[in-house]
Amino acid sequence: MELTHIAKTVMEKRYLRLKEDGSKETPEEMLRRVAGVIAGVEAQYGASKKEVRAIEEAFYGLMDRQDFMPNSPTFTGAGTALGQLSACFVLPVGDSLVEIYETMKHAALIHQTGGGTGFAFSRLRPAGDKVRSSQGVASGPVSFLRVYNASTEAIKQGGTRRGANMGILRVDHPDILDFIESKADTTQITNFNISVGITDAFMAALEQGTDYELINPRNGEVTGKLSAKLVWDKLVENAWKTGEPGVIFIDRMNRRNPNNHVEVIEATNPCGEQPLPPYGSCNLGSINLANFVKNPYTAQAEVDWERLGQVARMATRFLDNVIDANKYPLPQIAEKARRDRRIGLGIMGWAEMLVQMGLAYDSDEAVALGNQVMTFIKQKAVEESMALAEARGAYPEWEGSQWHKAGLKVRNATMTTVAPTGTISLFAARPDLPCSGGIEPKFALVFTRNQAGAVMLDVDGQFATIAKREGWYSEELMQQVAERGTARGVAGVPERWQQVFATSHDISPEWHVRMQAAFQGADGLPVDRQPVDAAVSKTINFPHHASVEDVAKSYALAWQLGLKGITVYRDGSRASQVLTTGDKT
Ligand code: CDP
């Protein structure tokens, strides 16, 4: 493995384990540990020692070549006492004190293992509603959201990482307006992302300009009506101000869930890429697309389909094994995982693949290629899942599923996703070939850093390589790109590369949404042709001067193009922002 400085630091701090002799394992030893545990599962299905060894080598090679990385909990959990390997969980929140606090306890246990949790608060009776046992009044979903947030704050995460959460409320819940406003003060509820669960009925009311009904989940009674436009406007305005709430199209998620014959999805995991049923979980892993271009940076550049197909199949097998190697935090979760056998094969380094192919992110060609690449990976995942079903059996809930109806006997209820890959994309990056998270464009080409009073330039590995190769690299030029936060419009950068090296701020929100849609796939596709059968984690970036109307347009386009959800972020709209371009840092 050829790791960047930052990857080494992150690994050292949180991923490498102490060995029995008290010393820390090396990155290679970490990969060996993970490959060994995950390949060990093969023995349960009758593989000989020699066969297990061969699979272990294959798994090790996937990671060592930086072609594929499993999600963080697989690195930190494999072969340890906790042994929890998944990043994504959804827990149900029932409408009683016992259920509310039971689930809060369960969430704490999951956070302890590095997993993130999502919850729908939609089943809780609204604030002010009757509570029979105490003759009192209910405090409502938003107050319990605050309690959950405080619990996360109190426990944080020892050793691994802090637990992220997602809170969802259906748009037809009587407390929806309070929920939409609940994060207007950005110092509140900081351990949660929040999203509104938008129904088809709501979208129909919005299109027709009518009211829609609010329903008390305790008894199904209609408690009142609201104008769909008023709620939508409030939602969009808050998203414009602070980036939250996001939306998820909850009925679409359920309609397109291949396993919707046995489960109802109410929520997603924290970053939105996994719509999951109650007690649902998913282990993720992502392919580094930057490694799959032949003749990069030339007119003959092409995707290495053959090798991509092999890696996608082997990665699918890896993720299916993770289900059996996993030690689940709750019996209900273990049981569900063994019944639906969800896996989440995703990608990262998409921006770097595009640069090697000579395509600008904001181009029709790039959008078409995104759809083609993800559809291809899905096809390979389905092939491997079918082969696994042949050898090990279909997943127990398969009968009656959309897979069954399509005549496809598979081992996994869902297979593909696009995760943020916040940490594992660092592990996949090399000094000369970076790896941007998921399907995000590059954030910037040149960062400036103050080091002991001196201004240092951090130049994107691909940008530096090309500039040096073509002879237009200079400190002054890099400084200029850093200050502008883009190569576009910088005279010293050849026109072609100005286009190809698009950063997230160069790309209009519409292109961000179109790219997300290319990976998600449109409504109505057959189950094996949906490029992503879970969902896509993506941030739609806006410049600071964008208007509320601009955000509204993106939300509308998201609905129109078949997205399962959307999250926006307007530059500078939150006090703390991890990455900034220009020389502000
Ligand atoms: O790169 P890595 O595997 O560490 O994670 P990611 O792809 O950025 O995030 C995948 C999922 O892990 C998220 O959607 C969350 O469910 C979970 N996560 C979390 O719970 N807490 C974090 N601090 C980061 C991720």
Residue 53 lies in a domain: no
Residue 107 lies in a domain: yes
pLDDT digits (tens, 9 = 90+) for 282-307: 999 999 999 999 999 999 999 999 99
Same domain, 165 and 93: yes
Q: Is the pLDDT of residue 171 over 80?
A: yes
pLDDT digits (tens, 9 = 90+) for 247-291: 999 999 999 999 999 999 999 999 999 999 999 999 999 999 999
Same domain, 455 and 474: yes
Listed as own residue / partner, the contacts of 201-210 with beta carbons closer than 8 Å and 24 or more positions apart are 201/172, 202/171, 202/172, 202/228, 202/231, 203/249, 203/559, 206/232
pLDDT digits (tens, 9 = 90+) for 377-417: 999 999 999 999 999 999 999 999 999 999 999 999 999 99
CATH of the domain at 246: 3.20.70.20
Q: Token pair for residue 494?
A: 């050849």
How many alpha carbons fall within 13 Å on the CB side of residue 22?
A: 0
Q: Is the pLDDT of residue 583 over 80?
A: no
Distance CA 377, CA 310 (A): 10
Residues in the chain: 585
Which pLDDT belongs to residue 90?
A: 98
The DSSP-derived string for 97-139 is: HHHHHHHHHHHHHHHHTT-EEEEE-TTSPPTT-EETTTTEE--
Q: Quote the ligand 1 centre to 116 CA distance (angstroms).
A: 7
Residue 424 lies in a domain: no
Residue 178 lies in a domain: yes
- Domain end among 236, 268, 300: 268
Same domain, 478 and 520: no
Distance CA 293, CA 286 (A): 17
- Domain end among 235, 268, 301: 268
pLDDT digits (tens, 9 = 90+) for 302-334: 999 999 999 999 999 999 999 999 999 999 999
Residue 463 lies in a domain: yes
- Domain end among 268, 296, 321: 268
Asked if residue 535 lies in contact with residue 380, where contact means CB atoms within 8 angstroms, the answer is: no
Same domain, 476 and 518: no
Same domain, 449 and 513: no
Instruction: State how far Cα 410 lies from the chain centre.
Output: 23
Other CB atoms within 10 Å distance of the CB of residue 46 = 9
Q: Quote the ligand 1 centre to 74 CA distance (angstroms).
A: 11
Instruction: State how far Cα 202 lies from the chain centre.
Output: 26
Cα–Cα distances (Å) from 319 to 218, 356, 370, 373, 436, in that order, read 39, 28, 23, 20, 22
Same domain, 141 and 165: yes
Q: CB within 6 Å of ligand 1 — which residues?
A: 71-72, 87-88, 115-116, 161-164, 269-271, 273, 284, 419-424
Distance CA 536, CA 538 (A): 6
Q: β-pairing, 192-198 with 165-170?
A: parallel
The parent domain of residue 571 ranges over 509-528+541-584
Same domain, 125 and 192: yes
Asked if residue 516 lies in contact with residue 538, where contact means CB atoms within 8 angstroms, the answer is: yes
Using 50, 70 and 90 to split pLDDT, how confident is the model at 160?
low
Residue 285 lies in a domain: no
Which pLDDT belongs to residue 410?
A: 98
Residue 335 lies in a domain: no
pLDDT digits (tens, 9 = 90+) for 430-445: 999 999 999 999 999 9
Residue 414 lies in a domain: no
Which atom from ligand 1 is nearest to the alpha carbon of 426? Answer: 1
pLDDT digits (tens, 9 = 90+) for 478-508: 999 999 989 999 999 999 999 999 999 899 9
Same domain, 234 and 111: yes
Question: What mean pLDDT is predicted for residues 346-362?
Answer: 98
Counted domains in the chain: 3
Q: Tell me 346's DSSP state.
A: E
Q: Quote the ligand 1 centre to 427 CA distance (angstroms).
A: 14
Same domain, 449 and 579: no
Q: Quote the ligand 1 centre to 181 CA distance (angstroms).
A: 26
Cis peptide before 296 (omega within 30 of 0): no
Mean pLDDT for all residues in the chain: 95
Most informative mutation of 71, 162, 288, 537 for ligand 1 (most atoms within 8 A of CB): 71
Same domain, 142 and 240: yes
Most informative mutation of 271, 537, 564 for ligand 1 (most atoms within 8 A of CB): 271
